[in-house]
Amino acid sequence: SRRFGLYRTLGWENDTFALDENVLGEKAFLEDVDDTIDAWLPMMEALLVEDNVDLYVHVWDFTDRVGHMFWRTIDPASPAADSLADAEWRDVMLQTYQRMDQIIGLVHEKMPAGTSLIVCSDHGFNTWHKSVNYNTWLVRNGFMTLKGPEGGRALTLEDLFGQGEFWPNVDWSRTKAYALGLGDLYINLKGREASGTKPCASN
């Protein structure tokens, strides 16, 4: 922070969950994306030209975050598409990839002669019409138990991320497994979890 100023070190750089849950609007989300890029660029430029660096890796994830939130604007068949509301954001995907191209051009300018540059992506992008909430599936199939009568309905972020106690609406004494993160499933393991129910296998 002394060298580059304050920057985020926890969580995702751009909060897709806030936009998805209508806590944040599209304009504010995109401003946050721009602010994040503007904060990271000086770091990248400085580190690219440092002496005695054998390998420099930089992960730009704004194309992923914007893709998740704005792909609907270029896919009229998407269940999330709204032709009137999305009209304002129709160019966002193109502008996002143009911005990424500009950054790659900047890397070409800054990197020392004789340096190899590899540009890669961890996945492509396309529309998505359905999703699965693993915790809802776990509840409906008896692997996770909720306190109260709401066991049959889909879980929301408000259900799962309460204040203070970790998921206070979950009956951990009767829960065998839970999902957390991007598709990760966890056993409610004795000795690891505060209220673990499943013993660790001997092997």
Tell me: the pLDDT tens digits for 159-180? 555 444 567 788 999 999 999 8
Helices and strands (H, E) in the chain, number of each type: 7, 2
pLDDT at residue 163, rounded to an integer: 46
Q: For position 11, what pLDDT does the model report?
A: 61
What are the two backbone dihedrals, phi and then psi, of residue 117, each rounded to the nearest 5 degrees?
-120, 125
Number of Cβ within a 10 Å radius of residue 59: 8
Alpha helices in the chain (DSSP H): 16-20, 26-48, 62-70, 83-86, 92-110, 134-140, 157-160
pLDDT of residue 157: 54
Instruction: Report mean pLDDT in 10-residue bins for the chain, 203 residues.
Output: 72 75 88 92 91 90 92 86 83 96 95 92 84 90 84 55 64 92 87 83 59
Task: Return d(Cα 117, Cα 154) in angstroms, integer.
Answer: 45
Closest by CA to 26, choosing from 76, 65, 77, is 65
27 vs 104: CA distance, rounded Å: 25
Q: What is the pLDDT of residue 46?
A: 92
